[in-house]
Amino acid sequence: MAEQVAKRQVSVPLMADLAARGESPEVLFWVGCAGAFDDRYKRVTRAFVRILEHVGVKYAVLGMEESCTGDPAKRAGNEFLFQMQAATNIATLDGYGIKTIVTACPHCFNTIKNEYPALGGNYEVIHHSTFLQQLINDGRVKVQGGESYKGRRITFHDSCYLGRANDIYEAPREVLAALDADLVEMKRSKANGLCCGAGGAQMFKEPERGKKDINVERTEEALATLDGDAAALEALLGVEGGNAGATPSPKKADNGIIAVGCPFCMTMMSDGVKNKERESSVQVFDLAELIASAEGLNA
Amino acid sequence: MVQVLQQILFLLVAALSIGLFAWQVRKIRANILQGKDRAMGGSVSERINKTLLVAFGQQKMFKRLTPALLHLVVYVGFLVINIEVIEIMIDGLAGSHRILRVLGPGYDALMATNEVLGALVIVAVAAFWWRRNRQQPVRRLTGVELRAWPKMDANIILYVEVALMLALFTMNSADLKLHQLRGEEMPGTFPVSALLVGLMPDSVTALHVLERVGWWIHIVGILAFLNYLPSSKHFHIIMAFPNVYYSRLVPQGQFSNVDSITHEVKSMMDPSYQVPAPPVDAEGNPVIERFGAKDVEDLAWTNLLNAYSCTECGRCTSVCPANITGKLLSPRKIIMDTRDRMEEKFNSPLIFKPNNYKGEDRMQVSEEGTLVHGKVTAEELWACTTCNACVEACPVNINPLDSIIEMRRYLVLEETAAPNSLNVMFSNIENNGAPWAFSPSDRFNWADDLFVAEKA
């Protein structure tokens, strides 16, 4: 750890205040409901704000004026509720003349980027993985001065709404590459990635009857990948493989990390790790948390 | 005389088969056009590109090498052997023999390629049969929807393909031996049949009969197979091309918009908004469209086209997180149900028996018979995570997710039949602007007591 230099209290700028002063931000940070309410993901929101503060980007948030994008309603088939939410949010965003939006939620990202235009809302929308990648590439974030992740085993779990939905596979991996960690890929990754089980409004309901919960299946794959446990990997249902019924090897990863870029994936993978009783050896972190920590921004 | 009779017979058989095929295709076309119109978007060149890559180029097949190579053999064999079918058609009508010999060395190359591919097709088909019928078949080739007719259909296709290749080799080998006996040079090069000549009888009459029998079985087999296609999953050899051409070109995460709801929401937000007049039927009465899809005609025509392009390979189902973890949902079944329902409700081709599952239903379904409830159950629909894995996996760009969402829309907007926890989520969004029961006034609390380290 680098020596604590000093810390500064952050007063997160509200869009309403900027507008009152006749100013406009470079980017609007769309926090999302999970980022605002979910205790675990609030830490991601705060980490991302630390990064924004650190690099000195002129940003703002909507605060209490933000409302659900309508993603879970739309995926669940409630198009009416979705469009009501979209109309409200578009009115707010357009009222402030917002041009560019950054968000740490792939669901918000996908909805605002792809589905708001048909309803009249046109913005440049950036997922925080791409945003962080740009900051690193531009040298504005050096990924040093904080905790070292050198040599730590990290596997990235692709979020469906970032990956397959929007073809963003490289940005999160490049962000992780900057940590100089030992990056390992799951067998089902990128376009073939396996869902955490929370998309399509599953986050808000019990799963249907089945043999296993999807997040457990996915966590088992992530853990086996971090453990380098070939037998356990073989036992998981592959794209075309059968169930070989192998027993997991006793070798366990120590200090492993499952990296995510989505609040729902965060919940599902964290629950999965708890289910497998591996909290002591494997942690689930969002990209922004890893970068803020590596940059030494936590205070 | 025999020659002329053969020509007349061939003309009749060919005309009848092609006519019958056209008649079946018209019925299927009519079924597809029962679907709703859909805004297309994307340029023609973009669509042609996609078709060249995904359909002609087999791009998405190559996610897995072994089945891709096996399939490539059969696919290229199909394309090349079709050139020979042209020759057979001309020969059959004109009474000529191996008319394409005028191509000279080109004919040598064509026939040789044909024979090598023909032999490889037999090998590939044997491998396909093994993957499907062994003790523990490849997982994606099993499932609740692959019983009775679909299972038989898959094997019939394999048997017919082998029979066609064997007829081709019989014809060529007999012809080769006839030419040898006559001391003549046979046009073309036949590397495989050259090996089989030894198996041929020595009687000229027998050889002549064998050559004719091989010729007739090959061409009649092809024409019969052509008429089998509309009842079979094998129809994909034709429908894959239009299906890829008309596939969605927008990001996979972008779900369709419901325009009628957009008008309603806009008029609520702005009283001066003019809602366009609804479409009218033939008598001028406004058509009240259902929200979402209860039955096949509520789906977009592209969703219906999807159903005729599916070859039931199960790549979608094998990557579906819900299916992998033992839920009822199988994207392939949704697509097969859609086709079954169309043939039940509208036109059906010659042989197709949508309910031929040996009396067993594939799921517990209602009497109603509609696509939702009658074939696809709510339990299947609610198990979907909308992860797009099925869409990504489909080698011919079928989009099961699109249909699933339309059916969910029907359940929610017409039947108010969402699972209770989702209704709670809906009311949370309505009341709190968040899917959870948190107070909107707490939305900015995350920013309290936030510190950042100051670096030099």
> What number is the average pLDDT over the span B312-325?
96
The CATH number assigned to the domain holding A57 equals 3.40.50.1860
Per mean pLDDT, which of A149-153, A257-261, B271-275, B279-283 is the most reliable? A257-261
Quick check: is A99 in a domain?
yes
Q: What is the pLDDT of residue B88?
A: 87
| Interface check A40 vs B, CB under 8 A | no
Q: Which of A47-61, B16-30, B279-293, B410-424 has the lowest mean pLDDT?
A: B279-293
Same-domain pairing of A196 and A268:
yes
Contact A207, A215 (CB under 8 A): no
Same-domain pairing of A159 and A190:
yes
Nearest Cα to Cα of residue B145 among B320, B407, B386? B320
Quick check: is A201 in a domain?
yes
Quick check: is B376 in a domain?
yes
Nearest Cα to Cα of residue A284 among A294, A298, A271? A271
Q: Which of A108, A133, A158 is the last residue of a domain?
A: A133
pLDDT of A77 above 50: yes
pLDDT band at A241 (very low <50, low <70, confident <90, very high): very low
Same-domain pairing of B91 and B163:
yes
Contact A10, A42 (CB under 8 A): no
Identify the residue with better confidence: B322 or A246: B322
Same-domain pairing of B349 and B422:
yes
Chain A environment of B429 (Cβ under 8 Å): 68, 70, 72-73, 81, 85
pLDDT of A282 above 90: yes
Chain A environment of B456 (Cβ under 8 Å): 5
Quick check: is A121 in a domain?
yes
Q: Which of A98-112, B60-74, B348-362 has the lowest mean pLDDT?
A: B348-362
pLDDT of B355 above 60: no
**Which chain B residue has the Cα nearest residue A53?**
B452
Predicted confidence (pLDDT) per residue in B394-448, tens digit:
999 999 999 999 999 999 999 999 999 999 999 999 999 999 999 999 999 999 9
Q: How many beta-carbon contacts under 8 Å exist across A and B? A: 269
Chain B environment of A16 (Cβ under 8 Å): none
Quick check: is B133 in a domain?
yes
CA B252 to chain centre: 20
Chain B environment of A91 (Cβ under 8 Å): 269
Q: What is the ipTM of this complex?
A: 0.93
> What number is the average pLDDT over the span A135-153?
94
Mark yes or no for CB contact B318/A239 under 8 Å. Answer: yes
Same-domain pairing of A128 and A153:
no
Quick check: is A96 in a domain?
yes
Nearest to B324 among A145, A191, A237 (CB): A237
Nearest Cα to Cα of residue A191 among B245, B69, B315? B315
Distance between CA atoms of residues B47 and B54, nearest Å: 10
Instruction: Show the domain range for B191.
Output: 2-28+64-231
Same-domain pairing of A125 and A254:
no
Quick check: is B451 in a domain?
no
Interface of A with B in 256-285 (CB under 8 A): none
**Virtual CA dihedral for A257, A258, A261, A265, nearest 10 degrees?**
-140
Same-domain pairing of B167 and B256:
no
Mark yes or no for CB contact A5/B453 under 8 Å. Answer: yes
Question: For B375, which DSSP code?
Answer: I
Quick check: is B131 in a domain?
yes
Predicted confidence (pLDDT) per residue in B199-242, tens digit:
999 999 999 999 999 999 989 999 999 999 999 999 999 999 99
Identify the residue with better confidence: A62 or B355: A62
pLDDT of B367 above 80: no
Q: What is the pLDDT of residue B363?
A: 62
Question: For A9, which DSSP code?
Answer: E
Chain A environment of B318 (Cβ under 8 Å): 239-240
| Interface check A245 vs B, CB under 8 A | no
Q: Which residues contact A230 (CB under 8 A, 6 or more apart)?
A: A249
- Cα A288 to Cα A58, A104, A131: the distances in Å are 18, 8, 10
Identify the residue with better confidence: B427 or B349: B427
Interface test with B, best of A66, A68, A147 (most B CBs within 10 A): A68
Instruction: Show the domain range for A170.
Output: 145-294
Total of domains in chain A: 2
For all residues of chain B together, what is the average pLDDT? 91
Contact A142, A247 (CB under 8 A): no
Quick check: is A2 in a domain?
no
| Strand pairing report for A6-9 and B451-454 | antiparallel
Quick check: is A5 in a domain?
no
Query: What type of residue sits at position B424?
Result: V
